[in-house]
Amino acid sequence: MSTDPPSTEAAAPVRFREDVTVDLVKHSASDSDVLWAARVSTAGEQSLEELTKDPDRSKGLINFLIRDRHGSPFEHNSMTFFISAPIFVFREFMRHRAGWSYNEESGRYRELQPVFYLPGAERKLVQQGRPGKYEFVQGTDEQRQAALAVMAESYERSYAAYQEMLAAGVAREVARATLPVGLFSSMYATCNARSLMHFLGLRTQHELARIPSFPQREIEMVGEQMEAHWAKLMPLTHAAFNANGRVAP
């Protein structure tokens, strides 16, 4: 019986990131998609020219739909994002079920790369108060240095353990159990404007939000980048979302 020899390839050096990235890789999404879907109820089928000939009317209709929570016209569009973020962000992200499709990189079929999350200088580190009523503050330099050093050391140790198991011939799907949730992963996430608005209402903090939410900062960083892409594609819908307290219709 023959077995594959252990890999002799040197492991990539451990890398640290403090950012997340969101690329808009595919889209079919515009304000006219909303008008087209909404106007079928009163005017039947209309051409794009007919639909968009009166900008004030378009703006007013979109605002009315969001204000009165007529949500389905915001579902006839699609945006696919490629997101690179730590696993703990994806764990929160995938709780959003309605109107979302996900495909994430596999830890069974490929060797996971040693890229780990460290909080950047802007990330407030210390929580004060009680759950449901707390705030985050910056923390001291000593706290920051201790956090960064402990996280980096733990990441390096766990990745060395992962490599040790792979070198001993253990399957990737078993060896990955040593890796922490600060490891970066990547996924495609596809949504529509309605499901994105629901996500943004919960996963961003915003002065215009009628119902405040208190998301973890790292998923909010993803949300902010998705929102910037979406606002360019559907400016009227985005403006109406803000004008109506950032509550999804």
Ligand X SMILES: Cc1cc2nc3c(=O)[nH]c(=O)nc-3n(C[C@H](O)[C@H](O)[C@H](O)COP(=O)(O)OP(=O)(O)OC[C@H]3O[C@@H](n4cnc5c(N)ncnc54)[C@H](O)[C@@H]3O)c2cc1C
Q: Are 126 and 143 in contact (CB under 8 A)?
A: yes
- State the DSSP H helix or E strand holding residue 33, giving kind and residue range, or none if neither: helix 31-43
| Among the listed residues 244, 240, 177, the one whose alpha carbon sits nearest the alpha carbon of residue 34 | 240
Per-residue x/- mask for ligand X, residues 143 to 182, rule CB under 6 A?
----------------------------------------
Q: Is 59 in the site for ligand X (CB under 6 A)?
A: no
DSSP annotation of 132: T
Binding of residue 222 to ligand X (CB under 6 A): no
Residue range at the interface with ligand X (CB under 6 A); choices 60-68, 80-88, 196-204, 231-239: 196-204
Are 215 and 148 in contact by the 8 Å Cβ rule? The answer is: no
Beta carbon of residue 46, minimum distance to ligand X (angstroms, whole number): 30
Nearer residue to ligand X within complex by CB, 46 or 213: 213
203 is in an annotated binding site: yes
Residues between 87 and 106 with contacts to ligand X, criterion CB under 6 A: 95-98
Of residues 64 and 214, the one with the C-beta less far from ligand X: 214
What angle in degrees, to the nearest 10, is found between the helix axes of 193-203 and 235-243? 40
Least separation in angstroms between CB 104 and ligand X? 17
Q: Which of 203, 210, 217, 246 is catalytic?
A: 203
7: Cβ contacts below 8 Å, ≥ 6 apart: 166, 167
Q: Please check whether residue 9 is in contact with residue 113, taking contact to mean a CB–CB distance below 8 angstroms.
A: no
Q: What is the residue whose two structure tokens read 């009166």?
A: 54
d(CA 151, CA 145): 10
Contact with ligand X (CB under 6 A): which of 176, 198, 206, 238? 198
Is position 52 an interface residue for ligand X (rule: CB under 6 A)?
A: no
Q: Identify whether the C-beta of residue 189 lies closer than 8 Å to the C-beta of residue 101.
A: yes
Binding test (CB under 6 A) with ligand X, winner from 79, 191, 202, 221: 202
Q: Is 228 annotated as a binding residue?
A: no
192 known member of a binding site = yes
Residues annotated in the binding site, as ranges?
A: 72, 92-97, 104-108, 176, 192-194, 198, 203
Catalytic residues: 203
